[in-house]
Amino acid sequence: MEEFFQQLTNGLAVGGIYALIALGYTMVYGILRLINFAHGDLFTLGAYLGFTLLVSWGLSGVLGGLAVAGVLILFAMGLVAIAGCLLERIAYRPLRNSDRLTAVVSALGASIFVQNAIMLVCGARSQVYPTGILPTTIIPIFGVDVSAMRFLMFGFSLLLMLLLYGFIHKTRLGAAIRAVAIDQDAAKLMGIDVNRIISTVFLIGPALGGAAGVMVGLFYGQITYDMGFSFGLKAFTAAILGGIGNIPGAMVGGILLGVIEALGAAYISIAWKDAIAFCVLILILIFRPTGILGERVAEKI
């Protein structure tokens, strides 16, 4: 029982991170019908930016633990958002009207580019985040000692998701994003500047990914230049699991995938941990390609 509870909370914390990354995939896919392969590497970029900031500014001495984390996350979010926007300008916008494969290959190229740029600048060795920024208190729940950090992670990703949900559903800009996702041409006729909306989506998605990057750094303590690949692929799995293009779906899918993976690693085999997520991906695409919350769309998958 204790093991189960440990793995469950661990899965929730990781799942929150998956969900944040998955939101970036699902929003871009919802609007452009494009798998933004470079998104996973923007997430890595966030982790490295947070790291650089933390080390070079020596923030941890000046502010309290949580404030440092907050500043880092905000900063990484801003910078990664700019990177995402630039990426869209350079690699995707010229291909807006070409066929899907072209854009997918360009996205792959961008992914390889960003990943190797990070490697060239920051080195191929893994970097270690300074410890002691987040509280390491242990909270006893039902007689099981659980690290508070997990709840903090989960809580923070939940907060970001709720903010996004509110933004998408309560503001004018959010309504415009939903409109463009449904029908670009009709949205254009209604006076929505589609290019601006796409740029906005490429600001929000990477910003969430950047936040997730810093959180991974703080949570695991270690970052590598190529971690974006596996995190990205799993987050994409999460997005499909919940129903791609569907924002609540990405949240549910991410958390679910985190829990499945943590429990699978504990009860099936730790060596096959990464394979579990891919098996989930294949099974969901075979049996329910629209995902858990996805609606049946006219276009066949």
Partner 1 sequence: MNARIIDHPQFSLLVGVVFFMLMAMVPTGLELSGVSGGGIAQLDVLNKIGIYAVLALSLNIILGQTGLFNMGHAAFFAVGAYTTAILNTMYQWPVFSTMPAAGFLAALFAFLVVMPIIHLRGDYLLVVTIGIVEIVRIALMNNIFGITGGPNGIYGIARPALFGLVFSSVKLQYYLIWSFTGISLFLFYLLEHSRIGRAFNYIKHDDLAAAGCGINVARYKLMAFVLGAFWAGMAGTLYAANIRTIEPMSFNFYESVILFAIVILGGSGSNAGVILGAFLLVGLQDLFRGFDSARMLFFGAAMCAMMVFRPQGLLPPRRRRYNAWQLVGKFASAIRRSYPCDEDKRNDR
**Contacts with partner 1, residue ranges (CB under 8 A):** 34-35, 90-91, 94-95, 98-106, 108-117, 119-120, 124, 229, 233, 236-237, 240, 269, 271-272, 274-275, 278-279, 281-282, 285-286, 289, 299-301
Cβ neighbourhood burial of 158 (10 Å; 0-12, 13-18, 19+): middle
Shortest distance, position 70 Cβ to partner 1, whole Å: 33
Name which of 67 and 297 has its Cβ closer to partner 1: 297
The least CB distance from residue 110 to partner 1, in Å, is: 6
Min dist CB 226 to partner 1, Å, is 10
Q: What DSSP letter does each residue of 237-251 carry, written as one string?
A: HHHHHH-TT-HHHHH
Nearest distance, CB of residue 11 and partner 1, angstroms = 20
CB-wise, 220 or 229, nearer to partner 1?
A: 229
* Phi and psi, residue 35, nearest 5°: -85, 110
How far is residue 118's CA from residue 136's CA, in Å, rounded to a whole number?
Answer: 30
CB of residue 109 to partner 1, shortest distance in Å: 3
Residue 119 or 148: which CB sits closer to partner 1?
119
What does the DSSP 8-state code read for residue 91?
I
Torsion of CA 280, 155, 159, 210, to 10 degrees: -70
For residues 33 and 24, give the distance between their C-alpha atoms in angstroms, rounded to a whole number: 13
Q: Which is nearer to partner 1, 182 or 275 (CB)?
A: 275
Closer CB to partner 1, 53 or 291, in the complex = 291
CA distance 100 to 9: 39
